[in-house]
Amino acid sequence: MFALIDGNNFYCSCERAYRPELRQQPVIVLSNNDGCVISRSNEAKDMGIRMGVPYFQIQHLVRQGKLIVFSSNYELYADLSRRMMSTIASLVPAIEIYSIDECFASLHGLNNLHQLGHNIRSRIQQWVGIPTCVGIAPTRTLAKFCNHLAKRHRHHFNGVVVWTDWNQNIRQRALASEPVTEIWGIGRRTGHKLAAQGIHTALDFINAHTPTLRKQFGVVLERTQREMQGIPCSELITEEASRQNIVRSRSFGNMVTNLDGLQAAISHHITAGAAKLREQNSQAHIIGVFIYTNRFRHDLPQYNGYRITKLPQASNDTLTLNHIAQHLLNSIYRSGYEYKKCGIELSGIEPEHTFRQLDLLCHSQHNHRPELMRAWDNITNRYGRRSIRLGSELQSGNWLMTRTQLSNCITTKFKEILTI
């Protein structure tokens, strides 16, 4: 048996966790650079605010005092997510973190699953302050579907749905009540193709002819159907797989017109990418750098620059990778443009201790400073990522995200801790 635990309106719930005066108030959280709505409280949903709506279209509601808005506070959300996952792990044999607000859990060998679901919800609420819903079923896809039912009908089911508690008649009614696109892995485009064949609901999908599904849509959709039928086709992934490609990028809060701003942003992204390489005990053979203007500003000249190079020796050394990235940036930079975004890409990733042929003309000690990088990681793990930064990252701050409604990092910064 599997459980899918999902934080309700997670970003908004995080903002409410330490501010009880926000409960029962319409709250939204905005995307990078305060662009559009990416999280809504139930009260905001009841006001008709849609997901993804641009902030400027609803800004008048904030001025009128009808809506409370926050910029994305990723540090707060990541910390509360970590606490939520640790709380879940204290009650189940194993977990798989699916996203910042979702977690699959193995319930193998456990009994009284309905009560367990409520215990998980109450412990997360008490220890972390985040409301959740729990779906429990014999397969991961069904557990995801049950979680959707628990969230949609939260007052009726009190936040917990256990598939095996229902008889066949109730199961069919539940499946018939939901469109096929509510099944995990079936998007809008596939849903349109299924609808053309008369498959509109989740029940239609389960009863569809399996060989025809496989012939037209492939083995992945066949596995989805079998999982919805209660036949397990996937297991919990308890260890994160090493990434084979690392991309770090971000849109700027303001247009960047000089090289200093781009250099600072590239140094920031390289630092994060190199840290990820070392975290998974790997190194990269290939590095790329890209810069973009704003393609939506038709009144401005457009330019996209991208360059990639192969390293003489694979590396995860921040200083080495930054030196190469800055050289690539200089080669693609063109003055006279207003840049909106830049980023780096690390690929050709292999385990750190893989045997490699040495290069006669490349001194390996210049590419690998394991003791220095180990000390760097120890310090940043203890005091935070921004406790050590490359000097080039400090050249300019005009590339940073615009977050005018940012809340305090209550759980991670002593200077912003709550005062009672």
Q: Quickly tell me which residue has 């998980």 as its tokens.
A: 120
| Strand 246-256 relative to strand 160-162, pairing | unpaired
The string of DSSP letters for 82-106 reads HHHHHHHHTTSSEEEEEETTEEEEE
Tokens at residue 259, please? Answer: 């090289």
- Topology of the domain covering 1-165: Alpha-Beta Plaits (3.30.70)
pLDDT of residue 381: 86
Q: Which residues pair with 8 in a beta bridge?
A: none
State the span(s) of the chain assigned CATH 1.10.150.20: 166-240
Identify the three-state secondary structure at position 344: strand
pLDDT score for 247: 92
Whether the CB-CB separation of 328 and 321 falls below 8 Å is answered with no
Tokens of 355: 């045997």
Q: CA 271, CA 262: separation in Å to the nearest integer?
A: 14
Would you list the DSSP string of 260-316? HHHHHHHHHHHHHHHHHHHHTTEEEEEEEEEEEE-TT-TTS---EEEEEEEEEEEE-
Burial category of 179 from C-beta neighbours within 10 Å (exposed 0-12, middle 13-18, buried 19 and up): middle
Instruction: Give the span between the Cα atoms of 348 and 309, in whole angstroms.
Output: 11
How high is the mean pLDDT in each 10-residue block of the chain (420 residues)? 95 93 93 91 93 93 93 93 95 92 93 94 95 95 95 89 94 94 92 92 93 90 93 78 83 88 93 92 93 90 93 90 94 93 92 67 64 91 84 82 87 84
CATH 3.30.1490.100 fits 246-394, yes or no: yes
Residues of the chain with CATH 3.30.1490.100: 246-394
SS3 7: strand
The predicted model scores a pTM of 0.82
Helix axes 113-127, 74-89, angle to 10 degrees: 140
pLDDT at 141: 95
Position 295, amino acid: R
DSSP H/E element including 415: none
Scan for tokens 């579907």, then name that residue. Answer: 145
Reported as half-sphere exposure (CB side, CA atoms, 13 A), residue 25 has a value of: 20
User: Both tokens of residue 227?
Assistant: 């999982």
**Separation between Cα atoms, residue 183 and residue 135, nearest integer Å:** 13
CATH topology of domain 166-240: DNA polymerase; domain 1 (1.10.150)
| H runs (alpha helix) in 162-232 | 168-176, 188-195, 202-207, 210-217, 219-228
Q: Which residues of the chain are in CATH 3.30.70.270 domains?
A: 1-165
Beta sheet of 37-40, edge-to-edge order = 37-40, 27-30, 68-70
- Residue pair 3/104 in contact (Cβ under 8 Å)? The answer is yes
Tell me which amino acid residue 235 is: E
Q: How is residue 178 written in tokens?
A: 């939901």
Task: Tally the C-alpha atoms within 13 A of residue 234's C-alpha that lie toward its C-beta.
Answer: 21
Encoding tokens for residue 146? 């049950």
- Distance (Å, rounded) from C-alpha 110 to C-alpha 90? 13
